[in-house]
Structure 1
Amino acid sequence: MNILNRIVSDVHLMFRRPVREQYGALCYRWKKKRSAVEVLLITSRDTGRWVIPKGWPMEGKSAAGAAAREAWEEAGVKGSVREEPIGSYRYMKGMPHGLKVDCRVRVFALSVDDICKNFPEKGERRAEWVSCAEAADRVQEPGLKTLMLAFERTMLAKDAPAAKNGTTGA
């Protein structure tokens, strides 16, 4: 029986596909008049579930640069992206013809300072600014839920950015 288990294991490994990598942007802003951070969620085009902007690597762009580009293409936001990821999560990406592939999404924090009126996927998705707790409730991926709540704790541990008039908040 041992040899049969080994053969099954070897066959499984032969057909196992490597994990694909994507880059995502956790777009955030400081809520006006109080020290609270909000994140931007968008709906996926195919299922309508709540997600963050993400996509495949792009030739000539760093991982953080690709995440920032996806944020603009999918949600119409621009800002400062951190070059180091804040974490990662995994999910099963639905591909054409029903195939699903294992994807790891490296997530980069993007501080939003511009919301564009026109962008490539305008009208194809809904977007909403919500608290990290609300965002964690809406997304399906357990790793993304955990990442959002950890991001909120990290951000709130720091002081909210000082506004130009000397008060906190943006």
Structure 2
Amino acid sequence: MLRDILKNWSPVAETSSGLRQAGALPYSIVDGRMAFLLITSRRSGKWIFPKGAIEPETTPWDSAAMEALEEAGVSGEISSTPIGSYRTGIGSDGASLVDVDLYPLKVLRQHDNWREEGQRLRHWATLSEAQRLLADRSLARLAVRLNAQLLGTSR
């Protein structure tokens, strides 16, 4: 009976366009190794990548770049193709689910002052450190995917 239930089960659920967000995966390549910029969430203090609502009349990748500037204080070259997506809880209780498309952002400038600097911490991490620190395993898998795509390695 369980087999019959699971054969029709799918982990992909439809979400309305209002429940889709865009995020940035900020990175830099230093001496042939990738470094990822992590920030803390305001609600839980867990390590994440910048994300937020897709602004009206704005492409998802441009919205992701704006989130990176507001939340992490970085700017650079944003890809128009997401590296992947993940699902996370939103709202004060985290009970609503949202799908987030994550766009690689090659950081060209780190600003000394930015909108949410007093509300979040930011931290540059190697891939192995990012895998340990990121609260959501899906985010770690996307960092590994980007590392493999750009450098041809998973470590």
* Partner SS, residue 100 of structure 2: strand
Gapped runs of 5+ residues in structure 1? Answer: 1-15, 159-170
- Distance in 1 of aligned mates of 2:14 and 2:139: 22
Residue in structure 2 matched with residue 45 of structure 1 by the alignment: 42
Amino acid aligned to 1:24 = G
Residue in structure 1 matched with residue 124 of structure 2 by the alignment: 129
Amino acid aligned to 1:80 = E
Cα gap change, 1:17 to 1:36, in 2 (>3 Å): closer
TM-fit CA distance, 1:119: 1.3
Give the one of 89, 92, 107 matched to 1:92: 89
Cα gap change, 1:64 to 1:17, in 2 (>3 Å): closer
Give the one of 88, 98, 104 matched to 1:103: 98
Kept after mapping to 1: 8 A contact 2:83/2:145: no
* Partner SS, residue 117 of structure 1: coil
CA offsets per residue over residues 92-139 of structure 1, 9 Å max, x none? Answer: 22x13x361111110000000011122111121110100122112211
Residue in structure 1 matched with residue 63 of structure 2 by the alignment: 66
- Distance in 2 of aligned mates of 1:89 and 1:40: 18
- Distance in 2 of aligned mates of 1:50 and 1:66: 20
Gapped runs of 5+ residues in structure 2? Answer: 1-12
CA offsets per residue over residues 50-80 of structure 1, 9 Å max, x none? Answer: 0000001101210000000000000110000
- Distance in 2 of aligned mates of 1:24 and 1:18: 17
Give aligned-pair identity as a percent.
Answer: 32
Matches within 5 A, 1:137-148: 137-148=132-143
Residue in structure 1 matched with residue 6 of structure 2 by the alignment: none
Amino acid aligned to 2:98 = C
User: RMSD of aligned C-alpha atoms?
Assistant: 1.8
- Tell me which structure has the larger Cα radius of gyration: 1
Residue in structure 2 matched with residue 163 of structure 1 by the alignment: none
CA offsets per residue over residues 4-28 of structure 1, 9 Å max, x none? Answer: xxxxxxxxxxxx9946211010000
Correspondence 1:151 to 2:153: no
- Distance in 2 of aligned mates of 1:81 and 1:114: 12
Correspondence 1:119 to 2:114: yes
* Partner SS, residue 143 of structure 1: helix
